[in-house]
A and B are shown apart, each in its own frame.
Chain A
């Protein structure tokens, strides 16, 4: 069991570039989500999914797209990177019950110049 795997660990982009952050889990979890973490602002939910083919917006969705074509994968796409998107990004998953804990990936440190 690898848990939640995020790639890459570090990325530097220029303003206007696009890229995809990858997230995969091998625990057959229905729920997957993306958070960004900024100093003094805690974790803010970007997008989440409660199952394959279903996605929904979180608190800060603008500038990001997601898709969920399989249970295992939940990629996060930055369409046109902006300096305001410099942050640490975490992918997380859990089982279907609300009581179940979130499993977090190790994070992606993204810098947009």
Chain B
């Protein structure tokens, strides 16, 4: 079945870059997402990438996809204290309906 894995914790200093990594097992994954969860709130979509892309950039966010290794990463440039949150990687196979989430990476940004 589908499985999505992430490291659980990442700590960086304000102004540094953060890189959050994710691996997935479903070779039919067509859509890959990064969601952000702030304390006491639901998840909100940060960015996404289609499996026919290698990279996507959106302001301070860069998503890299290595389809061969089934590896997805999220880079946050110039990380701010407001970026402290839990980041979830998720994948959806084409038209499968259900989305599978990783366990989430807790990003702590120190001033």
| A residues adjacent to B (C-beta < 8 A) | 4, 31, 33, 35, 40-43, 45, 48, 50, 56, 58, 90, 92, 97-99, 101-102, 104-107
Contacts and interface: CB of A to CB of B under 8 A. Distances in A.
Interface size class of B (residues with CB under 8 A): 20 to 34
Q: Majority SS of interface residues in chain A?
A: strand
Given A58-B98, A98-B30, A90 B42 contact: yes
Contact of A101 (B45, B96, B98): B45
B24 interface: no
Contacts of B8: 40
A43 B88 CA distance: 9
Contacts of A4: 42
A50 B42 contact: no
Given A35-B101, A104-B44, 6 more contacts: A42-B104, A43-B101, A45-B98, A90-B43, A104-B43, A107-B42
B9 to A, nearest CB: 10
Nearest to A99: B31
Given A35-B101, A98-B30, A106 B42 contact: yes
Contact of B41 (A31, A56, A106): A106
Interface of B: 8, 30-31, 33, 35, 40-45, 48, 50, 88, 90, 92-104
B103 A42 contact: yes
A33 B31 contact: no
A90 B41 CA distance: 10
B42 A105 contact: yes
Given A41-B103, A42-B102, A43-B88, A99 B50 contact: yes
A3 B50 CA distance: 25
A31 B42 contact: no
A66 B96 CA distance: 19
Contacts of B30: 98-99
